[in-house]
Structure 1
Amino acid sequence: MSSISARIPDEDEAALEEVSELLGEDKSTVIRKALREGLSDLRVRLAVQQYQSGEISANQAARVAGVSVADWLEIAREHNLTTQLSPDDLAADAETAREL
């Protein structure tokens, strides 16, 4: 496992202490969990933005978000996203789904 160091504002340190106590876990574990969840959230947010703008297809959005296509479709529904796909995009996504 890699090791990194980072400086955080005092208010984040206080929040980290509080969450650590609430979870009954050490700060390192809480930081790892927060980083994992935060990175996942950032990936989903980026996929939503790119999909919504029509930059990427549903299949590509699933890859950016780090989820399955089925999970992506659920995320898209939760965010009230409408398809930005052309018929060619749909055909390509269907072909990719058949390969899975």
Structure 2
Amino acid sequence: MPSISARISDDDEVELEAVIELLDEDKSTVIRKALSEGLASLRRRVAIERYQSGDISVNQAARLAGVSIAEWLEIAREHNLTSQLSPDDLDADAAAAREL
């Protein structure tokens, strides 16, 4: 497993120590979990922003977010996103769904 090194602020160090205590886990495990959850959150946020602006289709948003189309539709519903789909997008998304 590769290792990384990063500098963090004093406030982040305090927060990290608090979460370590809360989870009762070692520092490396907590950092790995935080990184994994943070990266997934960032992917979803970018997918939401790009879908909302009409830059990407449902299928593309799901792939960008790293989730299934069904999961993406739930995310879109939770964020009250309106459909940005054209008839061509619907055809492309249906074709992609058939390939799954």
What TM-score results when the alignment is normalised by the length of structure 2?
0.98
Deviation (angstroms), 1:8:
0.4
Partner of 1:52: 52
For 1:86 and 1:2, locate their aligned partners in 2 and report how far apart those are by CA, in whole Å: 43
For 1:18 and 1:11, locate their aligned partners in 2 and report how far apart those are by CA, in whole Å: 11
- The Cα offsets for residues 30-57 of structure 1, whole Å up to 9 and x where unpaired, read as 1100000000000000000000011000
Matches within 5 A, 1:1-100: 1-100=1-100
Task: In structure 1, give the amino acid aligned to 2:74.
Answer: E
3-state SS of paired residue (2:83): coil
For 2:34 and 2:27, locate their aligned partners in 1 and report how far apart those are by CA, in whole Å: 10
Q: Which runs of 4+ in 1 moved over 6 A?
A: none
For 2:47 and 2:97, locate their aligned partners in 1 and report how far apart those are by CA, in whole Å: 19
Deviation (angstroms), 1:81:
0.4
Deviation (angstroms), 1:98:
1.1
Task: In structure 2, give the amino acid aligned to 1:73.
Answer: L
For 2:59 and 2:79, locate their aligned partners in 1 and report how far apart those are by CA, in whole Å: 16
What fraction of aligned residue pairs are identical, expressed as a percent? 75
Deviation (angstroms), 1:99:
1.4
How many residues matched?
A: 100
3-state SS of paired residue (1:84): coil
For 2:98 and 2:22, locate their aligned partners in 1 and report how far apart those are by CA, in whole Å: 46
Unpaired segments of 5 or more residues in structure 1?
A: none
